[in-house]
């Protein structure tokens, strides 16, 4: 007889032994004090810490106008939508948000999803099925949601070396001209922090008659004078066919979307199971997201301040000889290597220094490449940055001296 629980217990035990098991910290988030928060330690004592791993980059989740809009519409329209988009789940707030998103990305239309993961999954798998004999050409560092979306339609897929447009063209040259081709990539890669060569990819797409699909999840709200992402900053939005984004990071709410031509959006809307059979976002969430986008679109000085904070933190890390991946984006990653050591460092940072950095491990990164990703927000101040750099220097030096710190960033 199969003992299902025993099998699963063994799998979990092996995951824990490898250091890749994910432990959740109960964060008692405070809108008033963010990015500072309270948590209970192992002794049940209430402690305060500073959050250095939140994706609420621009602190829009705690902006009083966003919260005010959320409260107003929730009292007016209720807590949930009550249905799928097709069955009573489309409100004026959904339509207004989609209109705002299409304008932000200079596209004819946009389509909302419960999250950016399901948006990628649905859009890619649907388009792959609708075109006959589709070929996906994918960057090797693409996010799991993009990978799963391409898998979902069982289309042929080629992988090009990260940001290597020469390799991309080699692949395109080998694909028959009459086959539908979709190049899939990200604008800002979430771990390495590298930025895609967007213009070069657009030129290749035109040369070989491909569609382009870009994931701007870690860029919307943060780049471009209007917060439209890397494609906005580079004035290249017209050259991209499908833009994927999130409402949960730079915009500080929840949800995901695609922005594209009317025909592409209507096709995903009409044939995408992940859209058709999912309850729509609550009206109040849509209203709050619209307010957040409107605010960020008109406050480029906030983005300037945010990027100033990034450079300020990096200058502190350099001054304290803390190695990190120095790149052109805001993603600041310290590679530890060993998963167990990475968790031990993160635990000590929280317990002894009051600093919350969540380990990033397999399967988000390859085995043996565990890291700490530092997320700077608009509200972190210089004193906190100095303290973080000092604490990391002390702790990483201690782990190196005891042989626990497995891998330096530049080794």
Task: Judge whether 73 and 284 are in contact, CB under 8 Å.
Answer: yes
Given the DSSP bridges, would you call strands 332-337 and 135-139 parallel, antiparallel or unpaired? unpaired
Calculate helix-pair angle for 116-130, 262-271, nearest 10 degrees: 100
User: Measured between alpha carbons, how far is 397 from 340 in angstroms, rounded to an integer?
Assistant: 17
Structure tokens at 386: 């100095």
Pairwise CA distance, residues 95 & 157, whole Å: 34
Catalytic annotation present for 157: no
Q: Please state the separation of Cα 329 from the chain's center in Å.
A: 13
CA atoms lying within 13 Å on the CB side of residue 257: 30
| Residue from 244, 278, 238, 246 nearest 258 by CA | 244
CB 246 within 8 A of CB 255: yes
DSSP of 200-215, one letter per residue? HHHHHHHHTT-EEEEE
Contact 128, 107 (CB under 8 A): no
Tokens of 405: 């710190």
| Helix, strand and coil percent figures for the chain, each rounded to 5 | 45, 15, 40
Catalytic, out of 249, 291, 316, 379: 249
Q: How many CA atoms lie within 13 A of 101 on its CB side?
A: 32
Q: Measured in Å, how far apart are the chain's first and last C-alpha atoms? A: 50
Cα 131 to chain centroid distance, Å, stands at 28
Under DSSP, is residue 247 helix (H, G, I), strand (E, B) or coil?
coil
Q: Can you tell me which residue has the tokens 């590679």?
A: 335
The residues annotated with a catalytic role in the active site are 249
């Amino acid at each position: 007889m199969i003992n299902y629980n025993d099998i699963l217990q063994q799998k979990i035990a092996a995951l824990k032994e490898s250091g890749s098991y994910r432990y959740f910290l109960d964060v008692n988030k405070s809108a008033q004090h963010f990015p500072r928060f309270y948590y209970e330690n192992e002794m049940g004592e209430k402690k305060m810490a500073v959050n250095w791993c939140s994706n609420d980059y621009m602190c829009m989740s705690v902006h009083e106008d966003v919260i005010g809009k959320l409260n107003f519409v929730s009292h007016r329209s209720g807590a949930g939508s009550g249905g799928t988009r097709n069955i009573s789940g489309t409100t004026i707030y959904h339509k207004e948000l989609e209109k705002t998103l299409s304008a932000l990305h200079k596209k004819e239309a946009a389509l909302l999803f419960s999250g950016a993961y399901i948006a990628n999954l649905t859009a890619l798998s649907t388009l792959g099925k609708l075109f006959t004999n589709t070929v996906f050409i994918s960057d090797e560092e693409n996010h799991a949601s993009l990978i799963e979306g391409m898998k979902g339609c069982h289309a042929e897929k080629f992988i090009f070396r990260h940001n290597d447009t020469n390799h991309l063209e080699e692949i395109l040259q080998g694909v028959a001209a009459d086959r539908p081709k979709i190049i899939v990539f990200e604008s800002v890669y979430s771990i390495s922090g590298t930025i895609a060569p967007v213009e070069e990819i657009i030129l290749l797409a035109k040369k070989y008659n491909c569609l382009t699909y870009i994931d701007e999840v870690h860029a919307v709200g943060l780049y471009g004078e209007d917060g439209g992402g890397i494609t906005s900053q580079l004035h290249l939005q017209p050259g991209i066919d499908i833009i994927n984004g999130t409402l949960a990071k730079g915009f500080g709410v929840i949800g995901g979307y695609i922005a594209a031509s009317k025909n592409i959006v209507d096709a995903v809307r009409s044939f995408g199971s992940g859209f058709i059979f999912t309850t729509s976002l609550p009206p109040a969430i849509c209203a709050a997201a619209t307010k957040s986008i409107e605010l960020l679109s008109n406050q480029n000085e906030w983005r300037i301040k945010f990027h100033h904070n990034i450079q300020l933190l990096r200058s502190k890390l350099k001054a304290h000889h803390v190695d990190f991946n120095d790149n052109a984006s805001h993603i600041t990653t310290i590679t530890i290597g060993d998963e167990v050591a990475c968790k031990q460092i993160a635990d000590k940072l929280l317990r002894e220094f009051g600093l919350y950095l969540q380990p990033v491990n397999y399967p988000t990164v390859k085995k043996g490449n565990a890291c700490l990703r530092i997320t700077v927000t608009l509200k972190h101040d210089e004193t906190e940055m100095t303290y973080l750099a000092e604490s990391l220097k002390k702790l990483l030096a201690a782990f190196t001296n005891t042989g626990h710190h497995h891998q330096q960033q530049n080794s």
